């Protein structure tokens, strides 16, 4: 990972590739690297779909090693959805393969002068950038079928579906999993639209002939990795819970906690929750011959995913995540798992964020376009996104635009990005994260559900205002650091609860790079990343006024707790308090 690959899609004549040694961003990885590049190299007020924007694809610091759980990929750009900086994080095989090819990042720049659509092939011999208009307006699944025919099954792919080509603000970038299915997505913020604006449909990564990345101290790394893996296996969430039921185990938990946003955030409990729970989903998968347990990349030992099949055992989709089941399910009043799995498949194929899409459909339901609970209507609407009909274009532009176009007042977005599957009035810590994260509303940016609901890393009462700001701050800082490592965020449960597992993680990084990082340096790293991102957003015109939930959360209480979001504005403004201190000193 000592190289940076820059691809200029707007170069005179034809797109060009340049490989340089990574001096400028040395020591950075994942989100740390993507946010540094965007902040330094992209004009904050440029058009997100213009030639000045860049798409940065970076594996984490530990990706490509033998370390467990190191397969997360960061994709950064100025977001066409939020207008601010974006790091969208995905699993799948790409991070490992790209890291083994020796690249700290691919930076795609410029904009082609023609309408041609390109594929980029990267292997040990170099880079090919080839126009391939036969891929135009294909879904991700068909794109990958063509890849298999031409490149076999041992590559990893990044691709966009129709939505990315149409430059929709909810467009994702698909990353293939171990079976070369385009099921792991950098979903949030419209990164797929930026890839589409650069005329890139597909990136094929082939690490044949390359070896695992070697740590500076192999023995120490091996030992730390062993302790880290043991720690994960010992913890009830990462060792058993996620494998057994996947993330969708949360449906029953959040519903019981009254924090399950139902029918566009009108109530906090859904009467159909048990029909779409993780427990039922695992049962269906086992019974029909799917798989309740499945990892998305080599080296994953948590295996939170699965394979969802129809009644005849035919593949429909990977096991839909909790947030997907919620967005297409409870948020829209839909309680049919087969239909939700079909929506998940369509989202992955068209290449759109499941959260943004589901929330947009719920907003459209509030506008009366279709009725709450109309699963077939929802499927039809998602298909329209792929077809690019005017209605599909509206929905594909995200929940915020859908609300604007239909004149809807109740639009659950922050920085124009849709709120995920946790009501901020019943789980106030996550509300602080939604409001203040530089990414827009994003549960992964500081997953307070862990401590508010799952009692991991201590306990902060989800209904009280006390402690939420500190909780969100600590988790946002820790998450930014973890997002730089390439480690899957789910390790957080174990490192929050088990000091020796946290130490094992530090030892892995230190052994790999010959460093002496401490808990304090992790905090410093996370703070630096967040401040870099916030600085970009500030230059893009964001103020504390954008660090707010939509007004209705402050004035409209939600059953069953009948709570509003009552964290004070000045407390929200204290989340990034190290910045204030730095200025004052």
In the stretch 180-209, what mask flags binding to a second copy with x, by CB under 8 A? -------------x--xx------------
Total interface residues for a second copy by CB under 8 A: 41
* Residues in region 552-581 near a second copy by CB under 8 A: 552
CB nearer to a second copy: give 156 or 381. 381
CB nearer to a second copy: give 174 or 394. 394
CB nearer to a second copy: give 287 or 380. 380
Q: Which stretch binds a second copy (CB under 8 A): 10-18, 165-173, 328-336, 500-508?
A: 165-173
- Of 436, 548, 563, 567, the residue at the interface with a second copy (CB under 8 A) is 548
Q: Closest approach of Cβ 54 to a second copy, in Å?
A: 15
In the stretch 349-388, what mask flags binding to a second copy with x, by CB under 8 A? ----------------------------------------
Distances (CA, A) of 303 to 233, 235, 241, 242, 358: 11, 14, 10, 7, 25
Contacts of 66 (CB under 8 A, 6+ apart): 212, 221, 222, 225, 299
Q: Closest approach of Cβ 118 to a second copy, in Å?
A: 17
Distance, CA of 118 to CA of 137 (rounded, Å): 12
Distance, CA of 92 to CA of 89 (rounded, Å): 10
341-202-54-113 Cα dihedral, nearest 10 degrees: -130
Q: Which stretch binds a second copy (CB under 8 A): 27-35, 38-46, 102-110, 254-262?
A: 38-46
Question: Is the Cβ–Cβ distance between 359 and 410 less than 8 Å?
Answer: no
DSSP state letters, 304-338:
BEEEEE-TTS-EEEEPPPHHHHHHHTGGGT---HH
Report if residue 541 touches a second copy, rule: CB under 8 A: yes
> 407 φ, ψ to 5°?
65, 35
Q: Closest approach of Cβ 391 to a second copy, in Å?
A: 4
Q: Closest approach of Cβ 99 to a second copy, in Å?
A: 32
Distance, CA of 191 to CA of 140 (rounded, Å): 15
In the stretch 503-522, what mask flags binding to a second copy with x, by CB under 8 A? --------------------
Q: Which stretch binds a second copy (CB under 8 A): 176-184, 483-491, 511-519, 535-543?
A: 535-543
Q: Closest approach of Cβ 408 to a second copy, in Å?
A: 8
Report if residue 540 touches a second copy, rule: CB under 8 A: yes
Q: Closest approach of Cβ 169 to a second copy, in Å?
A: 7
The alpha helices in 133-217, defined as continuous H runs, are 140-151, 162-165, 191-197
The alpha helices in 371-467, defined as continuous H runs, are 375-387, 390-396, 399-405, 428-436, 449-452
* Residues in region 79-98 near a second copy by CB under 8 A: 80
* Residues in region 107-136 near a second copy by CB under 8 A: none
Distance, CA of 509 to CA of 60 (rounded, Å): 11
Q: Closest approach of Cβ 44 to a second copy, in Å?
A: 7
Q: Closest approach of Cβ 398 to a second copy, in Å?
A: 9
Evaluated on CA atoms 270, 419, 350, 242, the torsion sign reads negative
Query: Whose CA is closest to 19, among 105, 100, 98?
Result: 105
Element (H, E) at 474: helix 468-485
Q: Closest approach of Cβ 535 to a second copy, in Å?
A: 13
In the stretch 387-426, what mask flags binding to a second copy with x, by CB under 8 A? --xxx-xx--x---x--xxxxxx-x---------------
- Of 6, 142, 222, 539, the residue at the interface with a second copy (CB under 8 A) is 539
Q: Closest approach of Cβ 411 to a second copy, in Å?
A: 8
Report if residue 50 touches a second copy, rule: CB under 8 A: yes
Q: Closest approach of Cβ 572 to a second copy, in Å?
A: 12
Find out whether the peptide bond into 177 is cis, omega within 30 degrees of 0: no
Q: Closest approach of Cβ 196 to a second copy, in Å?
A: 8
CB nearer to a second copy: give 13 or 390. 390
CB nearer to a second copy: give 364 or 487. 364
Distances (CA, A) of 433 to 261, 323, 384: 16, 16, 32
- Of 62, 97, 106, 168, the residue at the interface with a second copy (CB under 8 A) is 168
Query: Whose CA is closest to 34, among 438, 512, 388?
Result: 438
Question: Is the Cβ–Cβ distance between 55 and 198 less than 8 Å?
Answer: yes
- Of 438, 550, 553, 576, the residue at the interface with a second copy (CB under 8 A) is 550
**Chain-centroid distance, C-alpha 192:** 12
Distance, CA of 269 to CA of 527 (rounded, Å): 36
Q: Closest approach of Cβ 50 to a second copy, in Å?
A: 5
Query: Whose CA is closest to 291, among 307, 312, 304, 311?
Result: 307
Report if residue 47 touches a second copy, rule: CB under 8 A: yes
Element (H, E) at 536: helix 519-539
Binding site for a second copy (CB under 8 A): 43-47, 49-50, 52, 80, 166-169, 193, 196-197, 389-391, 393-394, 397, 401, 404-409, 411, 539-543, 545-546, 548, 550-552
């Amino acid at each position: 990972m000592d190289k940076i690959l820059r691809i200029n899609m707007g170069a005179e004549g034809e797109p060009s590739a340049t490989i340089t040694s990574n001096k400028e961003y040395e020591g950075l990885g994942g989100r740390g690297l993507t946010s540094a590049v965007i902040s330094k190299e992209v004009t904050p007020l440029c058009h997100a779909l213009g030639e000045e924007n860049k798409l940065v694809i970076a594996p984490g610091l530990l990706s490509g090693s033998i370390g467990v759980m190191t397969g997360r990929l960061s994709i950064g750009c100025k977001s066409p959805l939020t207008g601010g900086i974006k790091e969208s994080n995905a699993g799948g095989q790409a991070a490992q393969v790209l890291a083994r090819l020796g690249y700290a990042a691919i930076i795609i720049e410029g904009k082609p002068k023609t309408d041609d659509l390109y594929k980029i092939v990267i292997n040990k011999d170099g880079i090919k950038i080839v126009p391939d208009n036969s891929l135009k307006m294909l879904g991700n699944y068909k794109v990958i079928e063509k890849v298999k025919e031409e490149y076999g099954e041992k590559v990893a792919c990044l691709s966009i579906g129709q939505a990315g080509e149409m430059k929709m603000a909810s467009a994702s970038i698909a990353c293939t999993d171990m079976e070369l299915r385009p099921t792991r997505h950098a979903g949030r913020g419209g990164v797929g639209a930026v890839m589409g604006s650069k005329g890139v449909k597909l990136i094929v990564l082939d690490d044949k002939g390359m070896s695992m990345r070697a740590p500076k101290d192999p023995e120490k790394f091996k030992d730390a990795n062993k302790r880290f893996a043991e720690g994960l296996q010992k913890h009830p969430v990462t060792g058993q819970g996620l494998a057994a039921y996947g993330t969708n185990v949360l449906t029953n938990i959040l519903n019981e906690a009254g924090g399950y946003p139902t029918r566009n955030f009108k109530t906090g409990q859904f009467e159909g929750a048990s029909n779409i729970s993780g427990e039922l989903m695992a049962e269906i998968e086992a019974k029909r011959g799917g798989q309740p347990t499945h990892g998305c990349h080599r080296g994953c030992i948590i295996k939170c995913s699965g394979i969802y099949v129809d009644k005849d055992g035919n593949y429909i989709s990977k096991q839909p995540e909790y947030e997907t089941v919620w967005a297409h399910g409870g948020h829209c009043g839909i309680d049919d798992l087969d239909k939700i799995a079909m929506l998940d498949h369509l989202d992955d194929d068209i290449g759109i964020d499941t959260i943004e899409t589901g929330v947009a459909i719920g907003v459209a339901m509030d506008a009366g376009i279709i009725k709450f609970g109309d699963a077939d209507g929802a499927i039809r609407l998602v298909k329209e996104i792929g077809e690019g009909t005017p209605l599909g274009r509206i929905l594909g532009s995200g929940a915020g635009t859908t609300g604007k176009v239909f004149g809807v007042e109740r639009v659950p977005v922050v920085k124009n990005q849709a709120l995920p599957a946790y009501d901020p009035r019943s789980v106030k810590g996550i509300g602080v994260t939604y409001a203040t994260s530089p990414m827009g509303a994003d549960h992964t940016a500081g997953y307070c559900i862990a401590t508010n609901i799952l009692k991991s890393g201590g306990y902060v009462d989800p209904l009280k205002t006390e402690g939420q700001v500190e909780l969100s701050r600590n988790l946002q800082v820790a998450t930014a650091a973890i997002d730089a490592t390439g480690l899957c965020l789910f390790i957080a449960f174990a490192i929050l609860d088990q000091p020796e597992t946290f130490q094992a993680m530090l030892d892995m990084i230190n052994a790999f790079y010959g460093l002496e990082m401490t808990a304090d340096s992790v905090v410093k790293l996370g703070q630096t990343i967040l401040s870099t991102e916030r600085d970009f957003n500030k230059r893009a015109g964001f103020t504390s006024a954008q660090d707010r939930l939509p007004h209705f959360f402050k004035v409209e209480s939600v059953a069953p707790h009948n709570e509003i979001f009552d964290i004070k504005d000045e407390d929200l403004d204290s989340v990034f308090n190290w910045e204030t201190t730095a200025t004052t000193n």
